[in-house]
Amino acid sequence: MAGTIGARSGASLALVAWRFLVALVVLGVVAVVTRAPWPVGFRVYGHLLATGVLLQTVQLGGVFFGLGQGVPAGLSSLILSACPLIVAAVAVPMFSERLTRRQWAGLGLGLAGVAVSVSENLSGGAHLVGYAYTGLALAGLAAGTLYQKRFGRTVDLRTGTTIQLLGATLTTFPLAMLYGGLHIPLTAQALGSLAWLAVVNSIGALLLLFVLLRRGTGGAATSLLYLVPPVTAVLAVPILGQDLTASVILGMAISGIGVLLVLAGPRVRPRQKVRCADGSP
């Protein structure tokens, strides 16, 4: 939503880069003021930087370049919504997680609801490279989520996320400089979008995801992503002046039922922590 408003103001990829920098500064200050413990060991920092690049740069950069190659926004959302199924499938053998049949059905139902929600926004021509970029974004989101669950469970969320945002900032700024530059208009819409994306999306949403990953399965934590496309469509009515269609309402209901089925499953038992040779998680 905020990204759409920013894009209408002509901010493009520069908005993504500045978003990461603002989020880095804000969360870094919070970490310092609250005296949050910083990780110990270069290996831990490397894992956190890699997670930030995957979750932020690869995901959002892939989406941006995919849209630029003509991939419809609705189809892009649908492709990214396959993340919970991928995460759940990989997390079962990797983390010894268990999902009931009801939860697997909920994951499938949630994806079906997203498909219904964006069904009217799937048309449009796109080059094959555009879908490759969107697939790369999906891979970054899924891999980053699994990487965080594997290596970020014991790191303080304030300092750990700050380091991840540093990795995203360092890798996104060069991309923005190459594709469109770093200029963003100093308008209320652009700056408001920047503030919202930095504080709510890059800090709040990430911290929420990481907390859910620590408390439950990867599939259950990421299943909430199914609600993003339909809720965004509803919010677009008063904010962007778009119409609310029957497919959005129906899709939201289906996705909501799917998420409830996933979250209503039994809680996963915490796996015994595995530490690396240097003592890091």
The ranges assigned to domains in the chain are 2-100+123-217
Q: What is the CA radius of gyration of the chain?
A: 19
pTM, two decimal places: 0.75
Question: Contact at 8 Å (CB) between 130 and 44?
Answer: no
| pLDDT, tens digit only, all 281 positions of the chain | 433 433 444 446 888 899 999 999 999 999 999 999 999 889 999 999 999 999 999 998 888 888 777 777 767 777 788 888 888 888 878 777 777 888 788 888 878 877 787 776 666 555 778 888 888 998 999 999 888 888 887 889 999 999 999 999 999 999 888 887 888 877 787 788 788 888 888 888 888 878 877 776 666 666 666 666 665 555 555 544 555 667 767 877 887 787 777 777 555 444 444 343 334 44
Task: Find, among 82, 106, 76, 118, the residue nearest to 234 by Cα.
Answer: 118
